[in-house]
Chains A and B, each alone.
Chain A
């Protein structure tokens, strides 16, 4: 008898159907991956199983059986008795999923008291045991701490420990590692695999990441626009996808064993953008305290040539976004200088700074947040065109239309508002806006991380094309090494504000020299269920990296 058996599940937001006629089952101890792009209905399906649908959404049909019991029409009070001991759920955002005003211990023991009747020392002992199993050091001492005293990865471990402490038959994990760094992701996935195996818990894993699917799933169910497209064993789905959509989805996934960028950067004796000895600290610069604060960047020397793409790789807190912002003069360095096309822009002010800014433009991660929702695409593009190129009237409209066409949209879309575009189209508008003042350098901060894989591939293609046509220099900030392979000529690996490794993409990706780069590459999930996997190696504490020394042609390693 399956642990979970769903037949004909349909869900609607108001009158709009978002999931139609979904059938799923999960056997005991099995891991089913529910995959799909944004809007496919995978998360809302999972919430519906838990009886946690958001306001405005309701189930319009279907039956749900949990361990043989029909739970479709249970009242809220009865559902609450099942949630926890029978089925538990872990969410995407570990930073916001724990109550900030209650201690970890309180949050773990309250559910034990409600469902298992465990109180006092017994409940605390159980909580400590689970935290320990989840790999949290000194669990007894950490019970008294609050969520903000834990890192994102640690919070997700707490969530897993808290949920599995109740020994549910079914664990639903909704993008459990999407918000985490890749080295942390590898550890969390290993932890879930291990704990699920030990407790015999079945796992419903919701993800958009085919690499995660390959590492975790026994079977896969592919969803698209509220419908189940294909289902089968992980091996079959990866080896011989039956449906066109599944094939496209797999083909669009950037792979760690994919081809590297082949075209060499144009030879150049000068740099489009150069950082010299950049240092930046954060915090603790108050009137009363003179503590040094946190070193976000330390002695960074980097240069990007015209027509070249330099990928800046690192995990959260590595300082990669800060360096990007300093390059665009959106943030100031405390030490060192920034040069654009040979001219120092570090100390510029007023009109000279505005002129320099036209030459360095940024594209941001989230195209939903980076466009003004009240500005039409035309208005967004008109601002830089008027300010930096002095255009107005018909000429301006024409130039805006040309920009739209250069990014693969049409001039007819100029009067639309951001909400009338898809995520990929919005990112195209953001790119067009960056191109408007005719820059020499574009700094792109995770420009594809918020996009679905199929859209991601198209945006990368667009950026490559723009570079071929105009000789733009790209500083491409990303945490995704598979994307790096597609787009970068050279790679710089950043950790704790220092450069770990710098060199041609081929050398760094295929023959990484620094232990951290090696750990990073090993942790990246490979979309191949048959691949042999070494157990994840935690990258270790950031060592006091020495100065860079050369190990090959243009290949530099710290140590």
Chain B
């Protein structure tokens, strides 16, 4: 168990390290002079000023030196300052990150709360109209893009009915973006749960449980559900990454003040330090969530826990 977790932890840290390399190289992968591009829109910057900015960003140093310097600053919690306004990037991101996490976790909760029972229900009524109805709905759910579903929900619940705010902050404003993100993911969770449960229901050990004469509900909840959850949990890790990606789109639709919205603004303004910081924070979040899921995985599967 400990060696399993320490291995996972080491892999997570390695992933973050790779992200820092990518982030350092990012500036140089853009064709042309990044400093010129960053300041292309601002009038009247003199060549001396550009040189000075270049020196301030460390871009006049060899890449290896840049990387080491970047890593050194990062370890002190310094992600640089924004090009415009000279605000510390770390503070900016940390102020927004809770909003994005709130959105992503709420959406995940909605996805699991709807998708898991729906998939399980469909599996236990395999081949009946219940199964078909759940799966048809799921296919529709997967097929609808976030931005469209978001706009439709906004139109119905905010504009037409006026029950919820169109955009902004606060708990009420969270409902629509979380629903948008959660519903389409609920469809994916439902499909995955159904196929995993059906797999398990055909296993020999379920036959054994039935041969022991256990009540059907006990066979389903104790023997099928727990084993069937293992692949679903694995998949939820991947799903969370998509969810974080989806959050960027949804945040922009509903003007939700998360890091996704910040990132889009930064990209339009060519604010490299912010983009770099965003990528790093995003990657770290994904790594942390994956690690937490590995813990859940170990709790569900004794073969991992006992190794």
Contact = CB atoms under 8 A, between A and B. Distances in A.
Interface in B74-97: none
Given A96-B205, A100-B227, A110 B211 contact: no
Contacts of A111: 212-214
Interface in B191-238: 203-216, 218, 222-223, 226-227, 230
B306 interface: yes
A101 B300 contact: yes
A266 B129 CA distance: 69
A162 interface: yes
A146 B302 contact: yes
Contacts of B206: 99
A551 to B, nearest CB: 44
Interface string B31-63: 000000000000000000000000000000000
Contacts of B212: 83-84, 88, 110-111, 114, 162-163, 166
A101 B227 contact: yes
Instruction: Find the residue from B204, B211, B216, B306 having the highest chain A CB count within 10 A.
Output: B211
Residue among B208, B218, B301 with max Cβ neighbours from chain A (10 Å): B208
A103 to B, nearest CB: 8
B216 to A, nearest CB: 7
A491 B206 CA distance: 42
A522 interface: no
A89 interface: yes
Given A101-B302, A148-B302, A80 B207 contact: no
Contact of A146 (B208, B209, B223, B303): B303
Nearest to A103: B302
A73 interface: no
Given A101-B226, A101-B301, A149-B306, A93 B214 contact: no
Contacts of A93: 204
Contacts of A13: none
Interface in A72-106: 76-77, 79-85, 88-89, 91, 93, 96-103
Interface residues of B, number: 25
A396 interface: no
B195 to A, nearest CB: 15
A300 interface: no
Interface in A423-471: none
Interface string A107-135: 00011001100000000000000000000
A545 to B, nearest CB: 30
A115 B211 CA distance: 12
A80 B212 CA distance: 8
A52 interface: yes
A159 interface: yes
B305 to A, nearest CB: 9
Chain B interface secondary structure, helix, strand, loop or mixed? helix
A341 interface: no
B302 A97 contact: no
Given A76-B216, A80-B216, A99-B223, A91 B207 contact: yes
Contacts of B213: 79-85, 111, 114-115
B208 A97 contact: yes
B114 to A, nearest CB: 24
A558 B301 CA distance: 42
Nearest to A96: B204
A83 B210 CA distance: 8
Given A99-B227, A102-B222, A102-B223, A159 B208 contact: yes
Nearest to A112: B212
Nearest to A99: B205
A110 B214 contact: yes
A114 B300 contact: no
A84 B211 CA distance: 7
A80 B214 contact: yes
A50 interface: yes
Nearest to B205: A99
B227 A97 contact: no
B211 A88 contact: yes
Contacts of B207: 52, 91, 97
A98 B214 contact: no
Contacts of A50: 211
Interface in A32-91: 50, 52, 76-77, 79-85, 88-89, 91
A91 to B, nearest CB: 6
A179 to B, nearest CB: 11
Given A80-B213, A114-B213, A159-B208, A100 B218 contact: no
Nearest to B225: A101
Contacts of A83: 210-213
Contacts of B209: 99
A84 B210 CA distance: 9
A138 B302 CA distance: 21
Contacts of B214: 80, 84, 110-111, 114
B303 A100 contact: yes
A110 B210 contact: no
A532 B222 CA distance: 46
Nearest to A85: B213
Interface string B286-307: 0000000000000011110010
B103 to A, nearest CB: 33
Contacts of A101: 226-227, 230, 300-302
A110 B205 CA distance: 14
A88 B211 CA distance: 7
Contacts of A96: 203-205
Contacts of B227: 99-101
Nearest to A51: B210
Nearest to B226: A101
B205 A52 contact: no
A183 B216 CA distance: 37
A520 B161 CA distance: 80
Contacts of B210: 52, 80, 83
Q: Which of A77, A79, A88, A110 has most chain B Cβ within 10 Å?
A: A110
A84 B208 CA distance: 10
A114 B208 contact: no
Interface in A128-165: 146, 148-149, 159, 162-163
Nearest to B126: A55
Contact of B211 (A89, A99, A100, A102): A89
Contacts of B211: 50, 52, 83-84, 88-89, 91, 163
Given A80-B210, A98-B205, A102-B223, 10 more contacts: A80-B215, A81-B213, A83-B211, A83-B212, A99-B227, A101-B230, A114-B212, A114-B213, A114-B214, A148-B303
Interface of B: 203-216, 218, 222-223, 226-227, 230, 300-303, 306
Interface of A: 50, 52, 76-77, 79-85, 88-89, 91, 93, 96-103, 110-111, 114-115, 146, 148-149, 159, 162-163, 166
10 contacts: A52-B210, A83-B212, A91-B211, A99-B205, A99-B206, A100-B227, A100-B303, A111-B214, A114-B218, A159-B208
In the A-B complex, the 8 residue pairs with the closest CB atoms? A84-B213, A83-B213, A96-B204, A146-B302, A111-B212, A99-B205, A89-B211, A80-B213
